[in-house]
């Protein structure tokens, strides 16, 4: 999988601080912006986040390109409704020779891996045969080749597996990213979307550390797990994984 931060609101922390300060200030916006030094922006944002005043963080957005994830994972991703998505179409792009994601439990079990790969190869062949059959039939019935090809793509795809890879561009505002990280960085989320969330979180922390140090699974940000009996019990491990100071500084140049 590849998760790449494509764009984000410039100076997101200053923008958010200005938006929040405007609520409580009689000054004009120019004066507010001028008075926002890095130090008082950080202090103010920490206070804002501790108070849980989240609407100002909606003003800044982050856009990611995510490639090479399975359709299982993209389906979980798009359940997050407060976001914008553009996903590679299986109607306009034919999936002959599609690539697929193999879960590690299958990858590491030779007999399962063999079965899985054989099945993928068979689906690739059957998909292609089905596509050709549909296309030929429609062309015989008078449809032009391009239109027939598109119908063939859109109907043959019914046999494609969830493992099939996809590409998607997602834009979320920071409030929505907070909700996404809360749910999908948690060990209860499935491994693949958890990996996506982890890659996104690391890149957000570099851009806006004061804000994103408050983002992540509840066991890290709220110091308690809401999962009850289903808790993974790994709070300490999670805290050392979601080390915002390390990722905001050491990995600054990775972006
Ligand atoms: C571990 C895990 C297991 C899951 N298992 C399942 C499952 O078995 N089956 C399943 O269907 N889903 C499952 N989900 C998906 C989950 O139920 C949510 O659909 C998904 O996490 C998106 O969260 P969200 O609705 O908070 O996000 P968004 O859609 O981005 O919404 C963000 C917030 O906006 C508000 N909001 C958005 N839309 C509305 C609305 N229509 N009305 C009122 N408030 C709204 C809510 O406060 C919401 O939290 C699972 C998720 C996780 C993390």
C-beta of residue 87 within 8 angstroms of C-beta of residue 43: no
C-beta of residue 247 within 8 angstroms of C-beta of residue 202: yes
Residue 105 C-alpha to ligand 1 middle, in angstroms?
A: 27
- Ligand 1 closest atom vs CA 188: 1
Give the residue whose CA is nearest to atom 24 of ligand 1.
80
Identify the burial level of 218 via C-beta atoms within 10 angstroms of its C-beta, where 0-12 means exposed, 13-18 middle and 19 or more buried: middle
pLDDT at 220 over 60: yes
> What kind and span of H or E run contains 85?
strand 84-87
**Packed helices 174-184 and 191-207: angle between N→C axes, nearest 10 degrees:** 140
> What kind and span of H or E run contains 4?
strand 2-8
Whether 91 is a known active-site residue: answer no
pLDDT confidence band for 251 (50 / 70 / 90):
low
C-beta of residue 125 within 8 angstroms of C-beta of residue 95: no
Q: How far is 85 from 193, CA to CA, in rounded Å?
A: 16
- The pTM of this model reads 0.95
Report the pLDDT averaged over residues 182-208. 97
Tokens of 26: 């009689």
C-beta of residue 79 within 8 angstroms of C-beta of residue 145: no
pLDDT tens for 95-131 read 989 999 999 999 999 999 999 999 999 999 999 999 9
- Other C-beta atoms lying within 10 Å of the C-beta of residue 97: 8
Residue 73 C-alpha to ligand 1 middle, in angstroms?
A: 15
Residue 176 C-alpha to ligand 1 middle, in angstroms?
A: 11
Tokens of 232: 């993974």
pLDDT at 253 over 90: no
- Ligand 1 closest atom vs CA 190: 1
The active-site residue, picked from 71, 131, 157, 184, is: 184
């Amino acid at each position: 999988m590849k998760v790449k931060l494509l764009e984000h609101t410039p100076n997101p922390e200053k923008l958010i601080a200005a938006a929040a300060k405007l609520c409580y200030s009689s000054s004009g916006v120019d004066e507010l912006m001028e008075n926002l030094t890095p130090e008082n922006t950080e202090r103010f944002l920490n206070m804002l986040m501790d108070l849980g005043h989240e609407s100002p963080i909606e003003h800044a957005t982050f856009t990611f390109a995510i490639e090479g994830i399975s359709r299982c994972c993209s389906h979980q991703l798009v359940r997050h409704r407060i976001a914008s998505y553009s996903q590679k179409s299986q109607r306009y792009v034919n999936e002959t020779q599609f690539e697929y994601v193999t879960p590690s439990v299958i990858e590491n079990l030779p007999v399962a891996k063999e079965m899985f790969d054989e099945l993928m190869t068979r689906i690739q062949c059957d998909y292609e045969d089905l596509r050709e059959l549909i296309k030929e039939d429609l062309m015989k019935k008078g449809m032009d080749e391009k239109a027939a090809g598109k119908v063939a793509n859109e109907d043959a795809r019914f046999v494609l597996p969830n493992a099939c890879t996809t590409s998607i561009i997602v834009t979320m505002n920071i409030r929505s990213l907070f909700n996404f990280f809360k749910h999908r960085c948690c060990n209860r989320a499935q491994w693949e979307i958890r990996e996506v969330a982890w890659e996104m979180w690391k890149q957000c922390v570099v851009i806006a550390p004061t804000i994103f140090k408050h983002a992540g699974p509840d066991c890290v940000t709220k110091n308690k797990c809401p999962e009850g009996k289903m808790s993974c019990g790994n709070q300490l491990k999670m805290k050392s994984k979601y080390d915002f100071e390390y990722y905001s500084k050491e990995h600054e140049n990775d972006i």
